Structure 1
């Protein structure tokens, strides 16, 4: 099964989102996914098995519990598949980063002026429009 086939399912994507925070017991994963998607615990177990078989997740037994975690290798391979397409969105993300940095700089300068008792200008120190 191709990585994007695995990631194409919303339940499996949600399971990976939950696992992104770290190792979690299968019961906890099943509770969240059952509540959000209205599927049974056995159905969640099937999705976990697909993630495990495709290499996206690993399982570690701890007593009677099964703890799941992400295996980053397949995610890195899926991300690499997108590399030829990054040119479509990367410039926009770079521009967004520039605007966010500009806004942080303007707030910092305004805070510095305020802390020195200077009046706030509507004009920016930044010469770019």
Structure 2
């Protein structure tokens, strides 16, 4: 029974990996950078909004009024190291929007507003 479960798990994993490879090759065929591809794929996922709010909340806590743009950028590049299995999604999001995020984090906007402004979260009505 255990062998059967392991075999089924391997088959399902292989099928998913193959589908992922085909999908990624289709997107990369449009000559986009890998970060843009990952962000496009992640934008349809429900977790990307949560990842954005989580990262912005962490960075907001670590900056003050006198923090420079370079300091904010450094904090943004390191914040994804603490998110666990969503690290790739977080890093691709930060890499794509780093300039905008630095500007947004320099304002008094809250994390949810920042994520709505960059377009990864929907505004609640």
- Give the alignment's TM-score, normalised by structure 1: 0.30
Instruction: Mark the structure with the bigger radius of gyration.
Output: 1
Q: Which structure carries more relative contact order (alpha carbon 8 Å, separation 6+)?
A: 2
TM-score, length of structure 2 as denominator length: 0.30
